[in-house]
């Protein structure tokens, strides 16, 4: 498919691209979803520069993802989604990232919000999906960025949230808030507030060295009323069926703890970015001759060893993410909630996997040569993107590792949302 011109990233461009037809993906299984993901990789690779220039999820890519259903692989079947097992989130996002890491980040991010919406009150699910089953929902999970106070029937929300990926393309936003008591100092609750686009402002701060096409702009809300049914209590989503959406969605996918698994939608983009870099490296090095010596670069043992190291790092990172995703699903199928030690271990593994992906790209880059300095060479985009991804709070291994280590050593680790 030919590349198409990228749209401008203006705030009057906000909202999900309207679809002429309603599509039902409830009969699409894992194998078919993966086939569709593989099929669009060359298209996304061709459009990657246009997406980066636009600094957002370009409309052409959004439309492609609507048509293939790759936003809706974790949406409940009752609303026309695939409702695939949790590991699909790892595999689909990693596959797509081979072509465009930023687009894969948005797929994992926006698709997981279909999953999370399945935890909300049934009335809220119907409100969103009866109107538009393709509705896109952004988020910002920074609990400290948003403040809320109780009001009759709901909450009054204020805050400015960073890094709301894909927000230009969305009709709704899930804004994390800490609810304070009347004194404004004591935290009493933690909510994920679903807010329509008319109730928040998009602030264009996204001038970034990597992941440019994610459009991860700031969000501001002032004195916004959020009804109780649109304010998901995260303490009720730590695993099992305590959450209000269980009345509609009792399946295993909706028994997985949200916060404990919250890094899984994003980490696979880094693994896929590394996989894409590996493929680009192979394609270049297999035929390259040294500019100064004329020797075949592929014959250098140092290059061969670095290639092997990168391959092992990528394979290890992928396996860590897949194993924990499968374990989350298996526990849910047994109607069991993983204990805190397991949750912390899986979060540490996600951070470790992203760091392995970054190291893999760094390893390839270290012997790629000056060709990679040109912006026309896509390997430099994969390098910048995986560096940017690794800066996400969830992938700071010092933070995730210390939480695991503290608890493992009998320390007083506590989190009301884990």
For domain 267-408, give its CATH number from 3.40.50.300, 3.30.56.10, 2.40.30.10, 1.20.140.10: 1.20.140.10
- Residue 274 CA to residue 385 CA, distance in Å, equals 10
CA angle (196 as vertex; 90, 245 as ends), nearest 5: 55
Q: Which residues pair with 217 in a beta bridge?
A: 164
Is 401's pLDDT higher than 70? yes
pLDDT of residue 7: 37
Residue recorded with tokens 């990597």: 210
The full DSSP string for 355-410 is HHHHHHHHHHHTTT-GGGGSTTSTHHHHHHHHHHHHTSGGG-HHHHHHHHHHHHTT
* Model confidence pLDDT, tens digit, residues 338-347: 999 999 999 9
pTM for the whole structure: 0.93
CATH fold of 137-235? Butyryl-CoA Dehydrogenase, subunit A; domain 2 (2.40.110)
- Residue 29 CA to residue 36 CA, distance in Å, equals 11
Helices 87-97 and 267-285 pack at an angle, to 10 degrees, of: 40
Q: What is the mean pLDDT of residues 397-412?
A: 96
Residue 298 per-residue DSSP state: G
Contact predicate 178/129, CB 8 Å: no
pLDDT of residue 291: 65
E strand or H helix that includes residue 105: helix 101-117
Residue recorded with tokens 């409830």: 26
> Sorting pLDDT into bands at 50, 70 and 90, what band is 290?
low
- Residue 367 CA to residue 285 CA, distance in Å, equals 10
Q: What is the mean pLDDT of residues 139-162?
A: 95
- Residue 254 CA to residue 264 CA, distance in Å, equals 15
Q: Tell me: domain 11-129, CATH 1.10.150.530, correct?
A: no
Surface-to-core class of residue 72, CB atoms within 10 Å of its CB (0-12 exposed, 13-18 middle, 19+ buried): buried
Phi, psi dihedrals of residue 220, rounded to the nearest 5°: -130, 135
β-bridge pairing 201-203 and 187-196: unpaired
Q: What is the mean pLDDT of residues 172-190?
A: 94
Higher pLDDT, 225 or 284: 225
Residue 16 per-residue DSSP state: P
Q: Where are the domains of the chain?
A: 11-129, 137-235, 267-408
Going through 261-351 in order, the beta strands assigned E by DSSP cover none
pLDDT of residue 8: 36
Of the CA atoms within 13 Å of residue 244, those in its CB half-sphere come to 14
- Residue 234 CA to residue 218 CA, distance in Å, equals 22
């Amino acid at each position: 498919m030919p590349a198409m011109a990228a749209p401008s990233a203006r705030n009057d461009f906000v909202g999900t691209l309207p679809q002429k037809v309603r599509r039902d993906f409830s009969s699409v299984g894992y194998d078919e979803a993966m086939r569709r993901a593989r099929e669009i990789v060359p298209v996304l690779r061709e459009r990657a520069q246009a997406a980066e220039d636009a600094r957002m999820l370009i409309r052409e890519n959004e439309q492609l993802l609507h048509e293939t259903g790759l936003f809706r692989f974790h949406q409940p079947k009752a609303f026309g989604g695939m409702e695939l097992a949790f590991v699909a989130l790892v595999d689909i996002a990693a596959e797509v990232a081979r072509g465009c890491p930023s687009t894969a980040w948005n797929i994992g991010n926006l698709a997981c919000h279909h999953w999370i919406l399945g935890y909300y009150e049934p009335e809220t699910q119907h409100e969103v999906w009866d109107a538009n089953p393709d509705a896109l929902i952004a988020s910002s999970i920074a609990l400290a960025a948003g403040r809320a106070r109780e009001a009759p029937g709901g909450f009054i929300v204020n805050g400015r949230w960073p890094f709301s990926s894909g927000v230009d393309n969305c009709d709704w936003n899930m804004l994390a808030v800490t609810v304070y008591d009347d004194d404004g100092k004591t935290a009493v609750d933690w909510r994920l507030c679903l807010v329509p686009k008319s109730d928040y402002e998009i602030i264009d701060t996204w001038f970034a060295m990597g992941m440019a096409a994610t459009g991860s702009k700031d969000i501001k809300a002032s004195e916004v009323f959020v009804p109780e049914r649109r304010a998901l209590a995260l303490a009720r989503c730590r695993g099992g069926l305590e959450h209000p959406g269980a009345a509609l969605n009792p399946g295993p996918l909706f028994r997985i703890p949200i916060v404990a698994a919250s890094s899984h939608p994003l980490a696979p983009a880094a693994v896929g970015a590394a996989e894409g870099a590996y493929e680009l490296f192979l394609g270049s090095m297999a035929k390259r001759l040294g500019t100064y010596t004329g020797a075949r670069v592929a014959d250098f043992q140092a290059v061969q060893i670095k290639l092997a190291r990168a391959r092992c790092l990528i394979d290890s990172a992928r396996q860590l993410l897949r194993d924990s995703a499968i374990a989350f699903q298996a526990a849910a199928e047994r109607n069991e909630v993983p204990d805190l030690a397991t949750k912390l271990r899986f979060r540490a593994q996600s951070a470790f996997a992203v760091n392995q992906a970054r190291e893999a790209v760094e390893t390839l880059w270290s012997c790629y040569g000056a060709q990679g300095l040109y912006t026309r060479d896509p390997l430099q985009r994969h390098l910048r993107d995986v560096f940017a991804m690794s800066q996400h709070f969830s992938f700071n291994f010092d933070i995730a590792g210390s939480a695991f280590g503290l608890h493992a050593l009998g320390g007083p680790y506590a989190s009301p949302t884990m």
